[in-house]
């Protein structure tokens, strides 16, 4: 399937999802659906760096929060429509990703992982000390009530996030099948050998961190409008970091399908658990599933299905 | 911006007043506070210097075990009134076994099949997360603290102020450093641990099993968290997510100290403690967490081998 065809198909699927959600005509569907869509974008973005090149980013929350806080900043400084804010959030987080990568990617992979963890702490410190965006008290963002041509505002946010899902999945799938993707795969499999055969590893890794960071920032940009009241502890919440790792790991990291499956499954499970049990328990479930999958099914659900199909063919 | 200084919980009495002036007392006490804090940071980091520095296992769940140690010290201290440091020494074998067990799982699942860093890292990240959430489920997010005779009073020497709450952990940390250094340099097993880092194949040819030695070393590394946890809860009240603040610090110190060098770790810890203490004194404690990251990034960018790197 060509990329263009894939794009058209995914737009069609997205349209079906949107109209199906409207048929239910219950705002809760949009609120819960938005969270799941947001996780699809985060998981796909994480996988572009983590799954394709093998460099672990523990700072997803930081990139997400950068997007969210750039929205808060521009909401106060020069109000703009959300699609533009999404692009700005993407640029800000992409630049941070590039800078991070430039400083740490020449070293062993572990250093990059540790630096991303530390980055989250530092950016949170900066935001807590920055009174203009609310500091530690947080910032209120008043959500416009209705959109004339669409209805409730949450439907508009849902539609935007759905668009981001289509964009990120198309990018991920395109990377996978392009020369870029093969370059990423050589880095993941044997960086030294790749370097020796003339693959420009540093450049490729920087491309990956920038794209991945930018997508996470774009996922975070509409978040203040969704939540209405943004606090540093909610924007930098560890659940974003752990979910964006757990979802691809559980789904499978080698293709774009894995993060999608992982995010839908784990996202829905968490929505159900939050409503029926408690939010602390649902985080525990995610953590335990992550550890279990990493040990038992290293290639995730996609790997399990592939293995099962191969066995059936024999 | 200075108003945010009020919320720092790690603020130590007598370190600083609200004065902005540059007084000698303030500087000397910031220096002392930094050195004492650095001693404690050394206790927190020694274990990572062994696991990450020597064994090359990126155990980012290390701070979670420290918090576990804090909670055990807290439970025994409030129920039975035993001194937290004594509790932690008693707990050493338990933490050693826990570490050895975790290494066994890590080895069977990841190390044996080649260098799959991605999954190993995710495994430890998952452990960190699971431990934290379990502690939240059991104890809630309230701050817990311990009681001991040395929490509160402080020694005064002229203008110099030594809060015992900081001095005792610092001395305990230095004692732990001494013991570890002796084990690593003078015992057979300690030398074998250094050998694992240098050449595993050669070790195997000598008839020693690298896996067994790494298991022992990782056990020792986790055992240090029992003590570090007790020291942590002496210094500050603890709640489950406090550990996250230490991830950046711990690895910054470990990298700055030159991976795997214990004396380097202590020097780097003191240095970070002093820098943080000065930042807290002159800019406010809410900026202190950012210091470690700055140090880490600068070290990675300019001297990845660390201060005493090989």
**A146-147 and A151-152 as β-strands: parallel, antiparallel, unpaired?**
antiparallel
Q: What percent of chain A has a predicted confidence (pLDDT) above 70?
A: 99
Average pLDDT over residues B88-92: 92
CB A294 to CB B126 under 8 A? yes
B162/chain A closest Cα distance in angstroms: 29
A168/chain B closest Cα distance in angstroms: 22
Indicate if ipTM > 0.85. Answer: no
Q: Which of B40, B53, B1 is nearest to B259 (CA)?
A: B53
Mean pLDDT for chain B overall:
84
pLDDT range class, residue A155, cuts 50, 70, 90:
confident
Residue B188: which residues within 8 A CB-CB, separation 6 or more? none
Does any CB of chain A come closer than 8 Å to the CB of residue B252?
Answer: yes
Point out which residues pair with A145 in neighbouring strands: none
Say whether pLDDT at B11 is over 60. no
Residue B115 is predicted with a pLDDT of: 56
Per-residue CA distances from B107 to A298, B61, B111, B203 (Å)? 14, 16, 5, 18
pLDDT range class, residue B309, cuts 50, 70, 90:
low
Q: Where are chain A's structural domains? A: 3-239
Residue A133: which residues within 8 A CB-CB, separation 6 or more? A69, A72, A73, A76, A127, A139
Query: Do the Cβ atoms of A250 and A266 come closer than 8 Å?
Result: yes
Does any CB of chain B come closer than 8 Å to the CB of residue A50?
Answer: yes
pLDDT range class, residue A120, cuts 50, 70, 90:
confident
Q: Which of B38, B31, B40 is nearest to B234 (CA)?
A: B40
Does any CB of chain A come closer than 8 Å to the CB of residue B298?
Answer: no
- Residues in A closer than 8 angstroms to B136, CB to CB, are 280
Q: Where are chain B's structural domains? A: 23-245
d(CA B158, CA A195): 61
Mean pLDDT for chain A overall:
87
Strand boundaries in chain B, DSSP class E: 154-157, 160-163
Chain A: residue nearest B301 by CA? A103
Does any CB of chain B come closer than 8 Å to the CB of residue A270?
Answer: no
Point out which residues pair with B160 in neighbouring strands: B157
Point out which residues pair with B154 in neighbouring strands: B163
Residue B209 is predicted with a pLDDT of: 84
Say whether pLDDT at B10 is over 70. no
Whole-prediction pTM: 0.85
Does any CB of chain A come closer than 8 Å to the CB of residue B25?
Answer: no
Tens-place pLDDT, residues B241-266: 888 888 888 888 888 888 778 898 99
d(CA B257, CA A12): 56
CB B255 to CB A111 under 8 A? yes
Does any CB of chain B come closer than 8 Å to the CB of residue A24?
Answer: no
Say whether pLDDT at B6 is over 90. no
Q: What percent of chain A has a predicted confidence (pLDDT) above 90?
A: 31
Angle B115-A183-A262 (CA atoms, 0-180°, nearest 5)? Answer: 65
Residue B267 is predicted with a pLDDT of: 92
d(CA B128, CA A60): 16
Tens-place pLDDT, residues A251-266: 988 889 999 999 999 9
- Residues of A (80-109) whose Cβ lies below 8 Å from B: 103-104, 107, 109
Helix (H/G/I), strand (E/B), else coil: A256: coil
Average pLDDT over residues A194-207: 89
Interface test with A, best of B129, B134, B139, B299 (most A CBs within 10 A): B129
Residue B116 is predicted with a pLDDT of: 65
DSSP track, A55-93:
-----HHHHHHHHHHHHHHHHHHS---HHHHHHHHHHHH
DSSP track, B5-68:
GGG-SSPPTTS--S--S--HHHHHHHHHHHHHHHHHHHHHHHHHIIIIIIS----TTHHHHHHH
Q: Residue B179, by phi and psi: left (phi above 0), alpha (psi -120 to 50) or beta?
A: alpha
A285/chain B closest Cα distance in angstroms: 9
Helix (H/G/I), strand (E/B), else coil: A11: helix
B156/chain A closest Cα distance in angstroms: 33
């Amino acid at each position: 399937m060509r990329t263009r065809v894939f794009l058209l198909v995914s737009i069609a699927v997205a349209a079906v999802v949107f109209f199906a959600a409207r048929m239910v005509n219950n705002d809760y569907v949009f609120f819960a659906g938005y969270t799941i869509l947001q996780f699809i974008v985060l998981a796909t973005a994480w996988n572009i760096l983590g799954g394709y090149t093998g460099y672990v980013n523990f700072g997803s929350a930081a990139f997400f929060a950068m997007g969210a806080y750039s929205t808060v900043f521009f909401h106060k400084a020069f109000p703009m429509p959300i699609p533009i804010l999404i692009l700005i959030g993407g640029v800000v987080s992409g630049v941070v990703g590039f800078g991070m990568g430039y400083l740490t990617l020449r070293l062993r992979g572990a250093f990059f992982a540790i630096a991303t963890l530390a980055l989250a702490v530092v950016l949170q410190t900066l935001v807590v000390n920055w009174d203009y965006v609310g500091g530690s008290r947080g910032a209120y963002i008043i959500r416009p009530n209705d959109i004339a041509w669409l209805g409730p505002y949450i439907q508009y946010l849902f539609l935007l996030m759905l668009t981001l899902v289509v964009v990120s999945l198309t990018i991920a799938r395109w990377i996978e099948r392009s020369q870029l993707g093969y370059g990423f795969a050589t880095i993941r499999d044997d960086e030294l050998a790749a370097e020796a055969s003339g693959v420009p590893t540093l450049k490729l890794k920087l491309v990956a961190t920038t794209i991945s960071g930018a997508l996470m920032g774009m996922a975070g940009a509409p978040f203040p409008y969704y939540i209405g009241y943004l606090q540093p502890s909610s924007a930098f919440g560890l659940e974003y970091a752990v979910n964006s790792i757990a979802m691809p790991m559980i789904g499978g990291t080698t293709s774009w399908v894995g993060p999608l499956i992982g995010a839908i499954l784990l996202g829905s499970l968490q929505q159900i658990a939050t409503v029926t049990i408690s939010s602390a328990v649902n985080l525990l479930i995610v953590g335990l599933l992550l550890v279990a999958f990493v040990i038992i099914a290293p290639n995730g659900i996609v790997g399990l299905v592939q293995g099962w199909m191969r066995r059936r063919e024999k | 911006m200075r108003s945010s200084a009020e919320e720092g919980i790690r603020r130590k009495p007598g370190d600083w007043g609200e004065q902005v002036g540059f007084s000698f007392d303030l500087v000397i006490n910031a220096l002392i506070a930094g050195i004492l804090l650095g001693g404690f940071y050394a206790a927190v980091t020694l274990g990572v210097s062994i696991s990450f520095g020597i064994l090359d296992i990126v155990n980012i769940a290390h701070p979670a075990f420290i918090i576990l140690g804090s909670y055990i010290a807290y439970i025994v201290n409030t129920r039975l009134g035993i001194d937290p440091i004594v509790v932690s020494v008693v707990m050493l074998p338990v933490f050693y076994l826990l570490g050895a067990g975790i290494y066994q799982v890590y080895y069977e699942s990841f190390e044996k099949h080649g260098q799959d860093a991605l999954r190993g890292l995710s495994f430890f990240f998952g452990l960190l997360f699971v431990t934290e959430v379990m502690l939240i489920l059991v104890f809630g997010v309230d701050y817990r603290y311990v009681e001991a005779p040395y929490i509160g009073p402080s020694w005064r020497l002229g203008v110099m102020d030594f809060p015992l709450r900081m001095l005792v952990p610092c001395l305990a940390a230095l004692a732990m450093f001494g013991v570890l250094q002796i084990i690593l340099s003078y015992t057979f097993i300690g030398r074998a641990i250094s050998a694992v880092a240098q050449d595993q194949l050669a070790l195997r040819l000598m008839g020693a099993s690298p896996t067994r030695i790494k298991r022992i070393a990782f056990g020792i590394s986790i055992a240090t968290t029992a003590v570090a946890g007790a020291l942590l809860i002496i210094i500050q009240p603890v709640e489950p997510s406090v550990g996250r603040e230490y991830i950046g610090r711990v690895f910054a110190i470990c990298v700055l100290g030159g991976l795997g060098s214990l004396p380097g770790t202590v020097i780097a810890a003191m240095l970070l403690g002093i820098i943080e203490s000065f930042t807290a004194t002159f800019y406010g404690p809410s900026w202190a967490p950012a210091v470690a990251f700055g140090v880490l990034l600068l070290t990675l960018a300019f001297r990845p081998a660390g201060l005493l790197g090989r």
